[in-house]
A and B are shown apart, each in its own frame.
Chain A
Amino acid sequence: MGQIISALVAIVLGVGALVLYFFGSNLILDTLIPDRAEPDGRVLESREKDRERIRPWLFVGPALILLGIYLVYPAIQTFILSFRDSDGEGFVGIRNYTWALENPEFRTSIRNNILWLLIVPFLSTVFGLLVAVLADRVSWGNFAKSLIFMPMAISFVGASVIWKFVYDANLPNPGQPIPNQIGTLNAVITSLGFQPQAWITVPVWNNIFLMIILIWIQTGFAMVILSAALRGVPDETLEAARIDGANEVRIFFNIMIPQIMSTILVVLTTITITVLKVFDIVQAMTNGQWDTNVLANLMYNLMFRGGGDFGRSSAVAFVLMIAVIPILIWNIRRFQQEEAMR
Chain B
Amino acid sequence: MNTNVPGINITIGGLLARTALIVLVILWTLPTFGLFVSSLRDKDQLIVSGWWSALSTSQESEQGRTATSDVEVERDGTYVIAGNIFGENTSKSVDTYGGGFLPDTDDVEYAENEQVGIRDYQAGETVDLGDGVTFTLNTDGSYEWVSPIPLEEGRGKRFFVITTIPPTFSLQNYREVLDSEGFGQAFINTFTVTIPATIIPIAVAAFAAYAFSWMEFPGRQLLFVIVIGLLVVPLQMSLIPLLRLYNSIGEFFGVAAKSYPGIWLAHTGFGLPLAIYLLRNYIGGLPREIIESAKIDGASHFDIFVRLILPLSIPALASFAIFQFLWVWNDLLVALVFLGKTDDQIVMTSKLRELLGSRGANWEILTSSAFISILVPLLVFFSLQRYFVRGLLAGSVKGG
Bitwise, A1-26 to B at CB < 8 A (1) or not (0) is 00110010011001100110010001
Query: Nearest Cβ distance between residue A39 and chain B, in whole angstroms?
Result: 20
Closest A residue by C-beta to B210: A59
Closest A residue by C-beta to B11: A248
Asked whether B32 lies within 8 Å of A151 as measured between CB atoms, the reply is yes
Asked whether A225 lies within 8 Å of B24 as measured between CB atoms, the reply is no
Asked whether A22 lies within 8 Å of B234 as measured between CB atoms, the reply is no
Asked whether B199 lies within 8 Å of A184 as measured between CB atoms, the reply is no
Is B108 among interface residues, defined by CB-CB distance under 8 A? no
User: Which of chain A's residues have a CB closer than 8 A to the CB of B266?
Assistant: 70
Is B286 among interface residues, defined by CB-CB distance under 8 A? no
Is B229 among interface residues, defined by CB-CB distance under 8 A? yes
Bitwise, B224-242 to A at CB < 8 A (1) or not (0) is 0111111111111111111
Is B290 among interface residues, defined by CB-CB distance under 8 A? no
C-alpha spacing A315/B235, complex, angstroms: 14
- Among candidates A51, A57, A78, A183, residue contacting B240 with C-beta atoms closer than 8 Å: A78
C-alpha spacing A241/B205, complex, angstroms: 46
Is B31 among interface residues, defined by CB-CB distance under 8 A? yes
Asked whether A71 lies within 8 Å of B273 as measured between CB atoms, the reply is yes
Asked whether A182 lies within 8 Å of B46 as measured between CB atoms, the reply is yes
Query: Nearest Cβ distance between residue B324 and chain A, in whole angstroms?
Result: 13
User: Which of chain B's residues have a CB closer than 8 A to the CB of A318?
Assistant: 237
User: Which of chain A's residues have a CB closer than 8 A to the CB of B191?
Assistant: 4, 7
Is B294 among interface residues, defined by CB-CB distance under 8 A? no
Pick the interface stretch among B109-117, B156-164, B215-223.
B215-223
Bitwise, A178-221 to B at CB < 8 A (1) or not (0) is 00111110010000000000000000000000000000100101
User: Which of chain B's residues have a CB closer than 8 A to the CB of A91?
Assistant: none
User: Which of chain B's residues have a CB closer than 8 A to the CB of A263?
Assistant: 397, 400
Asked whether B225 lies within 8 Å of A57 as measured between CB atoms, the reply is no
User: Which of chain B's residues have a CB closer than 8 A to the CB of A336?
Assistant: 225
Within 8 A of A (CB), among B17-47: 17-18, 20-21, 24-25, 28-32, 34-35, 38, 46-47
Known A-B contacts A63-B272, A163-B31; A134 and B396 likewise in contact (beta carbons under 8 Å): no
Interface centre among B52, B240, B378, B381, by most chain A C-beta atoms within 10 angstroms, is B240
Asked whether B31 lies within 8 Å of A331 as measured between CB atoms, the reply is no
Bitwise, A225-243 to B at CB < 8 A (1) or not (0) is 1001100000000000000
Is B91 among interface residues, defined by CB-CB distance under 8 A? no
Asked whether A158 lies within 8 Å of B381 as measured between CB atoms, the reply is no
User: Which of chain B's residues have a CB closer than 8 A to the CB of A229?
Assistant: 397
Is A314 among interface residues, defined by CB-CB distance under 8 A? yes
Closest B residue by C-beta to A324: B232
Within 8 A of B (CB), among A300-324: 300, 303, 310, 313-314, 316-318, 320-321, 324
Main secondary structure of the interface of B (DSSP, over half): helix
C-alpha spacing A273/B225, complex, angstroms: 18
Closest A residue by C-beta to B244: A88
Asked whether B25 lies within 8 Å of A59 as measured between CB atoms, the reply is no
C-alpha spacing A247/B225, complex, angstroms: 44
Query: Nearest Cβ distance between residue A287 and chain B, in whole angstroms?
Result: 8
- Among candidates A14, A127, A147, A324, residue contacting B234 with C-beta atoms closer than 8 Å: A324
Bitwise, B318-333 to A at CB < 8 A (1) or not (0) is 0000000010011111
C-alpha spacing A134/B216, complex, angstroms: 47
- Among candidates B217, B336, B381, B399, residue contacting A56 with C-beta atoms closer than 8 Å: B217
Query: Nearest Cβ distance between residue A235 and chain B, in whole angstroms?
Result: 17
Is A256 among interface residues, defined by CB-CB distance under 8 A? no
Known A-B contacts A71-B233, A303-B239; A280 and B349 likewise in contact (beta carbons under 8 Å): yes
C-alpha spacing A225/B261, complex, angstroms: 35
User: Which of chain A's residues have a CB closer than 8 A to the CB of B195?
Assistant: 7, 11
Asked whether B20 lies within 8 Å of A320 as measured between CB atoms, the reply is no
Asked whether A161 lies within 8 Å of B378 as measured between CB atoms, the reply is no
Is A52 among interface residues, defined by CB-CB distance under 8 A? yes
User: Which of chain A's residues have a CB closer than 8 A to the CB of B51?
Assistant: 182, 184
Asked whether A48 lies within 8 Å of B333 as measured between CB atoms, the reply is no
Query: Nearest Cβ distance between residue A253 and chain B, in whole angstroms?
Result: 15
Asked whether B353 lies within 8 Å of A284 as measured between CB atoms, the reply is yes
Known A-B contacts A147-B28, A338-B398; A74 and B238 likewise in contact (beta carbons under 8 Å): yes
Known A-B contacts A137-B14, A153-B374; A67 and B260 likewise in contact (beta carbons under 8 Å): no
Is B151 among interface residues, defined by CB-CB distance under 8 A? no
User: Which of chain A's residues have a CB closer than 8 A to the CB of B381?
Assistant: 150, 152-153
Is B270 among interface residues, defined by CB-CB distance under 8 A? yes
Known A-B contacts A7-B195, A75-B238, A303-B243; A70 and B216 likewise in contact (beta carbons under 8 Å): no
User: Which of chain A's residues have a CB closer than 8 A to the CB of B226?
Assistant: 67, 72
C-alpha spacing A173/B312, complex, angstroms: 66
Pick the interface stretch among B62-70, B129-137, B169-177, B297-305.
B297-305
- Among candidates B241, B261, B367, B378, residue contacting A153 with C-beta atoms closer than 8 Å: B378
- Among candidates B49, B217, B242, B389, residue contacting A224 with C-beta atoms closer than 8 Å: B389
Within 8 A of A (CB), among B56-91: none
C-alpha spacing A196/B31, complex, angstroms: 18
Known: A138-B17, A161-B367, A165-B366. 14 other contacts (CB 8 A): A7-B191, A63-B272, A64-B223, A88-B240, A138-B18, A150-B32, A154-B32, A154-B377, A180-B49, A184-B30, A221-B392, A224-B389, A285-B356, A295-B236
Residues of B within 8 A of A (CB): 13-14, 17-18, 20-21, 24-25, 28-32, 34-35, 38, 46-52, 188-189, 191-192, 195-196, 199-200, 203-205, 207-208, 210-212, 215-217, 220, 223, 225-245, 260-261, 264-266, 268-270, 272-273, 276, 298, 300-302, 305, 326, 329-333, 336-337, 344, 349, 352-353, 356, 363, 366-367, 369-370, 373-374, 377-378, 380-382, 385, 389, 392-393, 396-400
